Amino acid sequence: MKTALTAARLYTPTHAIDSPLVVLEDDRIVAVGPRSSTALPSRARQFDFPGMILAPGFIDIHIHGGAGHDVMERDDRAIAAIERHMLQHGVTSYLPTTVTAPLKRTLTALQHLGRQISNRPSYPERSCPLGIHLEGPFISHTRRGVHPTEHLVEPSVDIFDRFWQASEGAIRMMTIAPELSAAQEVIGYASGLGVRASVGHSDATYDETFAAMAAGASHATHVFNAMRPLNHRDPGILGAVLTEDRISADIIADGLHLAPSIVKLFLAAKGPDRAVLITDAISATGMPDGKYLLGDIEVEVKGARCDSKGKLAGSVLTLDRAVGNVMTFAEWSLQQTLRLVTLNPAHVLGISDQRGMIAAGHIADLVVLTPEGKVVKTIPAGQIT
Residue 353 annotated to the active site: no
- Is the model more confident about 124 or about 80? 80
Domains of the chain: 2-54+370-379 (2.30.40.10), 58-354 (3.20.20.140)
Q: Which residues are registered as beta bridge partners of 134?
A: 174
Q: What is the distance between the alpha carbons of residues 312 and 294, in angstroms, rounded to a whole number?
A: 12
Per DSSP, the residues of 134-165 read: EE-SSS-STT-TTS-GGG-----HHHHHHHHH
Burial class (CB in 10 A: 0-12, 13-18, 19+), 181: exposed
Q: Burial-class residue 305 by CB neighbours within 10 Å (0-12, 13-18, 19+).
A: middle
Binning pLDDT at 50, 70 and 90, where does residue 385 land? Answer: confident
Asked if 315 and 256 touch (Cβ cutoff 8 Å), the reply is yes
3-class secondary-structure state, position 181: coil
Q: What is the mean pLDDT of residues 37-62?
A: 96
pLDDT tens for residues 97-142?
Answer: 999 999 999 999 999 999 999 878 888 899 999 999 999 999 999 9
pLDDT by residue (tens digit) across 302-318?
999 999 999 999 999 99
pLDDT band at 189 (very low <50, low <70, confident <90, very high): very high
Average pLDDT over the chain, rounded to an integer: 97
Q: What is the pTM of this model?
A: 0.98
Distance CA 296, CA 298 (A): 7
Portion of the chain with pLDDT greater than 70, in percent: 100
Query: Stretch 138-159: mean pLDDT, rounded?
Result: 98
| Angstrom distance (rounded) from CA 144 to CA 334 | 34
H/E element holding 198?
strand 196-199
Q: Which pLDDT does position 26 carry in this prediction?
A: 94
Average pLDDT over residues 199-214: 98
pLDDT of residue 122: 82
DSSP state of 230: P
CA distances from 176 to 15, 56, 295 (A): 35, 30, 18
Q: What's the pLDDT tens digit per position in 226-277?
A: 999 999 999 999 999 999 999 999 999 999 999 999 999 999 999 999 999 9
Q: Which one is catalytic: 60, 254, 280, 320?
A: 280
